[in-house]
Amino acid sequence: MNKALLACLLLIPQLALSSPLPKQLAVPGGIVNIELGSVATPAPEVFFQKKRVLVLESDNKWFAVVGIPLNSKVGQHSITIQSNKQKTQSNFEVGAKDYPAQYITLKNKRMVNPNPDDVKRISSERPAINKALNTWTEQPINDLAFGLPVKGRLSSPFGLKRFFNNQPKNPHSGLDIAAPTGTAIAAPAPGVVINTGSYYYNGNTVFLDHGQGLVTGYFHMSKITVQVGQLVETGTKLGEIGETGRVTGPHLHWNVYLNKTKVDPALFVPELMQPETAQ
């Protein structure tokens, strides 16, 4: 047989077995994909830290896709698997990851130390945001490979230890993509718009529900072009790049949530995979 033809034939099974799972990175802020058993039995319900976990099919097996909180301790953790009224546990190890520090200077000091009126506004916004992040819809998910929502420069990765005007603040909870104001922002996967709003820190915001607790957020937009309840497909325009909320310039801050946990969006984007994220 021709060697070139043989090489092509050997590639076919590999392509057919491409995984719908995100890349696994078992560190705080990362993801673990835990095999649950054959799809010959119904999908079980899975919980991590009492929060429901996304379950999908890959290679004729059920997998739990677990988001690991940034504040998780290194060591052994476990999920609870509930099937046919029986509960079992499966353990996994979380390793260490040292996220670098980022120092940012903001001219608007109220974005570092809000005044009492700002604090009242921030508190009043939390219920709507929490409602979006607590969304759970029972629907099958076939593929967790996302496209990038905007074309631009990756300006700040996930997990950075952040200091605003030399004051320590919460770690960076998403992926920043810098681009000129007005650049289109597109849905990276099908979903439903579950919230839009203008928030103190996030600026103009859109949240999408992709099913089973997988929620994505898009912040600092100059314009929103979708409405709550709207079904979107991959590539649907959500709005445009801006610099609303707490920013130093025009960019998109993109969040991904699994089981109510912020995880690294890069793990869902095949073109951003780095060697350390390999399973």
pLDDT per position as a tens digit, 182-194: 999 999 999 999 9
Whether residue 204 has pLDDT greater than 80? yes
47-69 average pLDDT score? 97
Residues recorded for the chain: 279
pLDDT in tens, 112-138: 999 999 999 999 999 999 999 999 999
157-178 average pLDDT score? 95
Strands (E), 212-266: 214-221, 223-224, 231-232, 237-240, 251-258, 261-263
Across 8-12, 50-54, 229-233, least confident range: 8-12
Q: Residue 84's pLDDT is what?
A: 84
156-177 average pLDDT score? 95
Domains of the chain: 3-94 (2.60.40.1590), 101-277 (2.70.70.10)
Q: How confident is the model at residue 274 (pLDDT cuts 50, 70, 90)?
A: low
Please provide the average confidence, as pLDDT, over all residues in the chain: 91
**What are the CA-CA distances from residue 118 to residues 4, 134, 204 (Å)?**
66, 24, 16
136-158 average pLDDT score? 94
Q: Is 270 helix (H, G, I), strand (E, B) or coil?
A: helix
Whether residue 55 has pLDDT greater than 70? yes
DSSP lists the bridge partners of residue 175 as: 254
pLDDT in tens, 14-28: 333 346 899 999 999
Q: Residue 7's pLDDT is what?
A: 37
242-269 average pLDDT score? 97
pTM beyond 0.75, yes or no: yes
The residue type of 56 is L
Q: Residue 272's pLDDT is what?
A: 85
| Residue 11 neighbours by CB under 8 Å, 6+ apart | none
pLDDT in tens, 84-109: 889 999 999 999 999 999 999 999 99
Rounded CA-CA distance 184/15 in Å is 32
Whether residue 2 has pLDDT greater than 50? no
